[in-house]
């Protein structure tokens, strides 16, 4: 079943397209987050330098 209109989502955090397409991550409120970023999000702490960056990106989802 090759080339059957596979969706190519772009991660809102790293702005990359995962190789696996839509199955390579999660969709939250219509915004795609790749598995890699999802993993990072789950393990990040509030004093991590990346935390603010993630917070900024995630505003797009929650607003
Ligand atoms: Zn990502």
34 located within any domain: yes
Mean pLDDT for 2-10 is: 68
Using the mean position of ligand 1's atoms as its centre, give its distance from the Cα of residue 33 in Å: 5
pLDDT at 29: 86
Q: Whole-prediction pTM value? A: 0.75
Instruction: Tell me the residue range of the domain where 37 lies.
Output: 21-62
3-class secondary structure for 2-61? CCCCCCCCCCCCCCCCCCCHHHHEEEECCEEEEHHHHHHHHHCCCCCHHHHHHHHHHHHH
Q: Kindly give, in sequence order, each residue whose CB lies less than 8 Å from that of residue 31, ignoring residues fewer than 6 positions away.
A: 12, 60, 61
Neighbours of ion ligand 1 (CB under 5 A): 11, 13-14, 34, 37
Q: Output the CA 3–ligand 1 centroid distance in Å.
A: 23
Element (H, E) at 51: helix 49-62
Residue 2 lies inside a defined structural domain of this protein: no
Q: What are phi and psi of 15, to 5 degrees?
A: 60, 30
Number of domains in the chain: 1
Give pLDDT tens digits for 14-51: 999 998 888 999 998 889 999 999 999 899 999 998 89
Give the Å distance between the CA of 45 and the centre of ligand 1: 17
């Amino acid at each position: 079943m090759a080339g059957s209109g596979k969706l190519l989502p772009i991660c809102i955090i790293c702005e990359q397209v995962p190789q696996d397409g839509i199955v390579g991550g999660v969709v939250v409120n219509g915004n795609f987050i790749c598995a890699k970023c999802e993993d990072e999000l789950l393990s990040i702490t509030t004093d991590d330098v990346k935390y603010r960056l993630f917070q900024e990106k995630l505003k797009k989802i929650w607003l």
